[in-house]
């Protein structure tokens, strides 16, 4: 039986607890006495407690995040009710700030704040030796990244087959964007490059083809960026897919040349833009050069096969709907495959809270602490924007309606056109989830043909092409009367890439 259990609730099964693997890798002499258990938020806390307690541990360490704090609070309550003497140690961003008043903090025994890669093992050793920590809140000293044991051997064969494999080459963020907890980090620290490349090689040999780098600013250090990109070029295999988060206004020629050599769809860049309004960006301490940003995005879309996932945030202090709409339209014109419309969250400890009074920022009290209204966007309008964000993800980002989506704004700017569609869609179906593809497709078809008076046969042909491009051979029932015959063998999705991204890969000429 293990003495220590490390556990968390992932947002989905496909996710892997990267932070807990780092903790386990650095347990030293306690590694053999430690068990890693992963659950997801769909599982009942009482059932999770049963599995943990069946191992009869002395210490349970739990990773707490914005997406799992509610069920983990219930989990801790069950653990402490059934085994009051069990030592529960918490860590993670959700409990690293503003712990006073948090129910989960009150029920736990200790909370380690900060990067606990080495501190967790130290605290466990002290507890097992009978030397209890003097305080409940235990700040972790910043670990020397050169001394950390890397966790990649802890990805099991099952993980490799069924889960996302996370990688990091650096920690920290050089920017101070107030909506993000990374604004509290010290400057970026690079992990030793050669050990990272060696681990990547071993993962490739074990069959990993999809890699997700968690670095906040992958392209900040040119030497590291080039070395990792060159590694993936030199070792490229069919179906390889690599995700990076990049600084949008930093793409020097050396990186451009490397990026352009990758096959279509092999790279995904997550590009955080958040706002195109310089005044709003300055207000939240975000620095970016918009001219360079525009040029870089155009280059990526026109000269490379990179899948670009760009982020905008609704609800930033002082940003009106009109201002957000202008930014959205500008981004649509730059052509990223995905535009993620995020709703502003007031994360615990994030400096964005300093604007609450001046800009009348009102957030939900419960996770994920999303903005409800502010001084320039009332609650009803924020709800409309929340629905727009959800519907945009289903329509504009999914790849299921690649050619149909631009037809929605034939008669007006993209934001306003899609908002009108979003309003009517919600009025008709009264929900934002559990919407079947057939229902969504039928509503889009109706909107374009009945409301905008587009030619039904042409719309049906375009929509069928979208369906088949995404790998489906059937003709939806609502299109059958407009399709003269069913073309065969036209499903063109690249099955070696992640499903969503593969739908955007250019069709063969």
Determine whether 54 is exposed, middle or buried from the number of CB atoms within 10 Å of its CB (0-12, 13-18, 19+): exposed
C-beta of residue 23 within 8 angstroms of C-beta of residue 171: no
Contacts of 349 (CB under 8 A, 6+ apart): 93, 96, 97, 98, 181, 184
**Residue 62: beta bridge partners?**
7, 90
pLDDT 10s digits, 18-31: 999 999 999 999 99
Residue 492: predicted pLDDT: 53
Range list of H helices, 430-455: 437-446
Domain with CATH 3.80.30.20 in the chain: 164-368
Terminal alpha carbon distance of the chain: 59
Which letter, b or e, does each residue of 96-108 get, where b requires 16 or more Cβ atoms within 10 Å of its Cβ?
Answer: beebeebebbeeb
Domain with CATH 3.40.50.280 in the chain: 4-145
C-beta of residue 9 within 8 angstroms of C-beta of residue 40: yes
362-363/371-373 β-pairing: antiparallel
- The superfamily CATH assigns to domain 4-145 is Cobalamin-binding domain (3.40.50.280)
CB atoms near residue 411 (< 10 Å)? 12
Residue 27: predicted pLDDT: 98
Q: Token pair for residue 231?
A: 């590694």
For 356, half-sphere exposure in the C-beta direction (CA atoms, 13 angstrom radius) is: 12
DSSP state, 132? -
Q: Token pair for residue 318?
A: 């002082």
Give me the residues of the chain with pLDDT under 50, please: 486, 488-491, 507-509
- The superfamily CATH assigns to domain 164-368 is tm_1862 like domain (3.80.30.20)
Task: State how far the Cα of 428 lies from the Cα of 443, in Å rounded to an integer.
Answer: 9
Peptide bond into 203 cis (omega under 30): no
Residue 466: predicted pLDDT: 93
Q: What is the pTM of this model?
A: 0.93
């Amino acid at each position: 039986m293990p003495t220590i259990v490390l556990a968390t609730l992932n947002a989905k099964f496909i996710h892997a607890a990267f932070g807990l693997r780092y903790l386990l890798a650095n347990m030293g002499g306690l590694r053999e006495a430690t068990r890693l258990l992963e659950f997801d938020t769909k599982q009942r806390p009482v059932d999770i407690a049963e599995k943990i307690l069946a191992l009869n541990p002395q210490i349970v360490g739990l990773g707490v995040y914005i997406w799992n704090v509610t069920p983990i609070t219930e989990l801790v309550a069950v653990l402490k009710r059934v085994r009051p003497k069990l030592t529960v140690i918490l860590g993670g961003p959700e409990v690293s700030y503003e712990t006073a008043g948090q129910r989960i903090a009150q029920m736990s025994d200790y909370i380690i704040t900060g990067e606990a890669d080495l501190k967790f093992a130290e605290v466990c050793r002290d507890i097992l030796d009978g030397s209890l920590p003097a305080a409940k809140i235990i700040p972790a000293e910043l670990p020397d990244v050169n001394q950390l044991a890397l966790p990649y051997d802890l990805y099991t064969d099952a993980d490799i087959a069924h889960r996302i494999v996370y990688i990091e080459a650096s920690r920290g963020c050089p920017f101070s964007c107030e909506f993000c907890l990374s604004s509290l980090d010290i400057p970026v620290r690079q992990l030793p490059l050669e050990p990272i490349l060696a681990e990547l090689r071993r993962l490739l040999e074990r069959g990993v083809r999809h890699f997700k780098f968690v670095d906040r600013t992958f392209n900040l250090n040119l030497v590291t960026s080039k070395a990792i990109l060159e590694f993936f070029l030199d070792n490229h295999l069919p179906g390889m897919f690599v995700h990076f988060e990049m600084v949008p206004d930093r793409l020097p020629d050396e990186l451009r040349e490397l990026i352009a050599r990758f096959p279509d769809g092999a790279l995904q860049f997550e590009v955080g833009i958040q706002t195109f309004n310089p005044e709003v960006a300055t207000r939240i301490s975000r620095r970016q050069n918009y001219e360079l940003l525009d040029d870089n995005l155009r280059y990526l879309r026109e000269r490379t096969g990179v899948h670009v996932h760009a982020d905008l945030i609704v609800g930033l202090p002082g940003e009106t709907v009109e201002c957000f709409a202008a930014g959205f339209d500008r981004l649509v014109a730059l052509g990223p495959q995905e535009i993620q419309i995020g709703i502003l969250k007031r994360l615990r400890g994030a400096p964005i809270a300093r604007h609450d009074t001046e800009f009348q920022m009102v957030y939900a009290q419960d996770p994920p602490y999303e903005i409800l209204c502010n001084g320039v966007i009332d609650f009803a309008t924020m709800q409309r924007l929340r629905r727009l964000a959800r519907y945009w993800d289903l329509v504009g980002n999914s790849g299921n309606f690649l050619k149909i989506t631009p037809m929605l704004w034939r008669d007006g700017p993209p934001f306003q056109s899609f908002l009108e569609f979003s309003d009517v869609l919600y009025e008709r179906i009264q929900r934002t989830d559990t919407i079947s593809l057939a229902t969504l497709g039928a509503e889009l078809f109706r909107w374009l043909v009945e409301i905008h008076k587009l030619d039904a046969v042409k719309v049906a042909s375009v929509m069928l092409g979208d369906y088949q491009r995404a790998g489906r051979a059937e003709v939806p029932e609502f299109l059958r009367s407009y399709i003269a015959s069913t073309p065969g063998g036209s499903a063109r999705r690249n099955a070696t890439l992640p499903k969503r991204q593969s739908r955007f890969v250019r069709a063969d000429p």
